[in-house]
Amino acid sequence: MRRVVTSCVALTLAGMPAMGQGGDPARTHPGSLRVTSEIAGARGLTMAQRAAATAVTDRIVAILRRDPAIAHPVGYSVVLKSTARVRLPGDAPGMPFHSIVFGVVKYFETTDNGRGGRDVVEGNGGFDFQIAVNAAGYREEMEGTDSEPDRKPRIMGADPANTSVYRVTGTFRGRPIYGGSCTYLTNRTVPPIVPVTKERYLTVELLKMRATSARRDAQRAAQTSTPSNDALQRFLRDRPAREASNRQIIATLRQSGADSAQIRQATEAFRAAEAQQEAALRANIAGGTDQRIRDATQAGRAGEADRIAKAQSDLDALSPADRRSQAIVVPAERDQFTLAETVDTIGQPLVQPNAAFYDASLPPDAPQLLWICADHLQGLEDKSYDRLAEGSAEWLEEKARNERRVHDVVQIRDQLDWAALHALIKP
């Protein structure tokens, strides 16, 4: 999953017999903690930047190791992975890279071993988490490498699944919690993320539409032929080869003792098939197949022009106050979005990294922000199991799984040494 947590990372079952462990050996099976790093092979970073990223992630890992639920997992396994990535230039000028500690928690489960017993194995259930240094966002956003067409900070928060969102759902240690999952630590007085204005959102969407239209126009211009005519030309081009093949077949028939009537019948069949195929291909052209394709292409071009004109009209119609107001979107069809007026359970407020957040007087590898995410960090249930029939076996199983994750994450959160994390960003 994409949510993450600074130290919110291991699902602990030690000390929670009240969670209905019963006699399930998977709930009491001792797990392991594994720590890996990909920083040495990080692309685009200098040796000095890799060393700086390693130093700060090692300190974060050391803090996570002091959390009992991570250091001594029971009923699950934990993997901590350190990475470092080149930053998109528009997100934070003067900050060329950021580092992240990702965590993966996997619950154990029992499975039939085929020998009359059951083995405890690592299952698919669990969750991911992250602590990012000098970066903000959900995992897929921070890992993204596509710049916005206006070359400004990336636009975040538009999620068709309505999970990786930036609705403020509460506070933790004096900082907002976004989507029940993410919060941050910093000594800066300015926020690390700021709203995306309606003016910028519509401008970016307009730029995307124009780029798509230009790309398609180039593809249309490069297409100098039509499908039906191409098929006919290939058919006529390959006729000598087919005739030669047919003559070989006739010769084989003669050698095998076929009489003249049989030879004549085979020859006429070949000629008839050739004539029928040519007539069918020419009929496609005469019937307007290619013209219909050209008409559909022209209709597509006109539709694109209409959408571009509509987007420009929407942008031009914004009042000065609307231009400065935050863009809020709701999912539409095919991963598209439309503007909304309010933030509710569907409306998704768009945000962007604050390009003015970082103190330029500090070196670029100095930690100024820890962005921490984990599913259920706030302790809220998503209650996705309510889509199932209440009281059914599936409903009960998913409800118990959801409650288990919430319990574990909150316990890890509360055992985490937040003061030590905060000390990482003190000047």
Question: What is the pLDDT, as a whole number, of residue 10?
Answer: 33
Q: Write down the residue that tokens 């017999």 correspond to.
A: 17
Cα angle at 374 between 370 and 379, to 5 degrees? 115
β-bridge partners, 97? 86
The answer for residues whose C-beta is within 8 angstroms of residue 232's C-beta and 6 or more apart is 278, 281, 282, 284, 285
The model's confidence at residue 247, banded by pLDDT at 50, 70 and 90, is: confident
Q: Report the percentage of the chain scoring pLDDT > 70.
A: 89
Q: Is the pTM of this model over 0.95?
A: no
For residues 321-359, one letter each, b for 16 or more C-beta atoms within 10 angstroms of the residue's C-beta and e for the rest, the string is: eeeeeebbbbbeeeeebebeeeeeeebbbbbbbbeebbe
Q: Which of 191, 183, 123 is nearest to 416 (CA)?
A: 183
Question: What is the pLDDT, as a whole number, of residue 374?
Answer: 93
Each residue's pLDDT tens digit, 182-192: 999 999 999 99
Euclidean distance between CA atoms 17 and 388, whole angstroms: 27
β-bridge partners, 78? 33, 105
Euclidean distance between CA atoms 64 and 86, whole angstroms: 24
**At what angle are helices 260-286 and 227-237 packed, to 10 degrees?**
150
Question: What is the pLDDT, as a whole number, of residue 310?
Answer: 87
Each residue's pLDDT tens digit, 339-372: 988 888 889 999 999 989 999 899 988 999 999 9
